[in-house]
Amino acid sequence: MTNSMQNKENINMQAPFVREICEITYHMWSMGWDERNGGNISCLLDKEEVAAYVDIEHVERTLPLSFPVPELRDKYFIVTGSGKYFKNIISDPKANLGIVRVNETGDQLDVLWGLRDDAVPTSELPSHFMSHIERLKVDPNHRVVMHTHATNVIAMTFVHELDEKKFTKTLWQMCTECLVVFPDGVSILPWLVPGTSEIGRQTADKMKDHRVVIWPHHGIFGTGASLDDAFGLIETVEKAAQIYMLASHQGIKQTITDQQLLDLAQAFGVTPLEGILGE
Ligand code: 2HA
Ligand code: ZN
């Protein structure tokens, strides 16, 4: 067998993009964020990196897209499957993940690998694909959209005002690192029915100038140039929300001041989202 054929046989073990998603989803489940089938991930892949492991000329199935995405034509993604449990991906990636390509007209998906037993991509595919389109416009390095039910972020949406600027400021005040990690702040949608094109459009609209979108009483979307990048962003927001949930009902006696946050931004060379810190 040639090396390339061996690679194609052993994709579960060898493809770094499969291994990474296996590890990170297991980790996210261990954090308690992805109960049952909660959470979903999509990651943009280069044609060449896919072709090293999968026969890209062989289409296993095609799936119609109810929301055409011509902007993503000929793009390759690894996605989590609808109804699949993050807990189980690591032990059976081929059943729980899929490698798909958007066709030339942007209205169909070619399944190239995985999604075994007629599985389909995540129910939140509209939010993922529409967010990829917007993030790619502002960041050519963008690759990952990650959705998870981060526990303390959800809890905070019950007890904190849902004003984006006030929510962002509270998060920045909870840990010194926050302003450095997400100077662009967090955005928040109204409560909407998940899985629809409408929540996809509204999520993507926020993604024009944010990397984080919070769905109240549901979870969080984070984006980035890599799985680590998107995960690290969500982890930092979740940590701040956790501190808030631990500290707020005790009566907060002091916090990081606006001037200290401005000093921090200057020291780390980041520009805080406007209209949050008093100048
Ligand atoms: O994949 O998290 O929002 C299940 C969900 C839906
Ligand atoms: Zn969800």
CA atoms within 13 A on the CB side of 145: 28
Active site residues: 124
Atom of ligand 1 nearest to the CA of 39: 2
Ligand 1 close to Cβ of residue 123 (< 6 A): yes
* Ligand 1 contact, 42 CB (< 6 A): no
Please state, in angstroms and rounded to a whole number, the distance separating the CA atoms of residues 43 and 57: 20
Which of 121, 149, 173 is where one domain is finished?
121
Any atom of ligand 1 within 6 Å of the Cβ of 38: yes
Indicate if 232 and 215 belong to the same structural domain.
yes
Q: Say yes or no: 41 and 12 in one domain.
A: yes
Q: Where are the alpha helices (DSSP H) in the chain?
A: 3-9, 11-14, 16-30, 47-51, 86-89, 93-96, 125-138, 151-159, 164-174, 177-181, 197-207, 227-247, 258-268
Say if residue 101 is in the same domain as residue 226.
no
Domain boundary among 121, 153, 170: 121
Q: How would you write the pLDDT of the chain (279 residues) with one tens digit per residue?
A: 455 655 565 676 589 999 999 999 999 999 999 999 999 999 999 999 999 999 999 999 999 999 999 999 999 999 999 999 999 999 999 999 999 999 999 999 999 999 999 999 999 999 999 999 999 999 999 999 999 999 999 999 999 999 999 999 999 999 999 999 999 999 999 999 999 999 999 999 999 999 999 999 999 999 999 999 999 999 999 999 999 999 999 999 999 999 999 999 999 999 999 999 986
> Which of 34, 36, 37, 125 has the most ligand 1 atoms within 8 A of CB, as the residue to mutate?
37
CATH number at residue 196: 3.40.225.10
Question: Model pTM?
Answer: 0.96
CB 131 less than 6 A from any atom of ligand 1: no
Q: What is the per-residue pLDDT for 14?
A: 81
| Tokens 């389909």 found at | 120
269 and 137 both lie in a single domain: yes
- Closest C-alpha to 256, from 240, 245, 234, 275: 240
At 44 the pLDDT is 98
Domain match, 139 and 270 both: yes
Do residue 89 and residue 131 come from a single domain?
Answer: no
Ligand 1 mutation target, pool 28, 35, 122, 125, most atoms within 8 A of CB: 122
pLDDT at 209: 96
Number of Cβ within 10 Å of residue 124's Cβ equals 27
Beta carbon of 37 within 6 Å of any ligand 1 atom: yes
Let me know whether 134 and 263 are in one domain.
yes
How confident is the model at residue 74, as a pLDDT? Answer: 98
DSSP bridge partners of 110: 62, 101
Q: Is 232 in the pocket of ligand 1 (CB under 6 A)?
A: no
Residue 44, SS3? strand
Could you read off the pLDDT of 98-125 as tens digits, one per residue? 999 999 999 999 999 999 999 999 999 9
User: What does the pLDDT look like over 4-56, one tens digit per residue?
Assistant: 655 565 676 589 999 999 999 999 999 999 999 999 999 999 999 999 999 99
Residue 173 alpha carbon to ligand 1 centre in Å: 29
Q: Which of 121, 137, 171 is the last residue of a domain?
A: 121
Q: Nearest residue CA, atom 3 of ligand 1?
A: 194
Q: How many domains does the chain have?
A: 2
pLDDT computed for residue 196 by the predictor: 96
Ligand 1 closest atom vs CA 218: 3
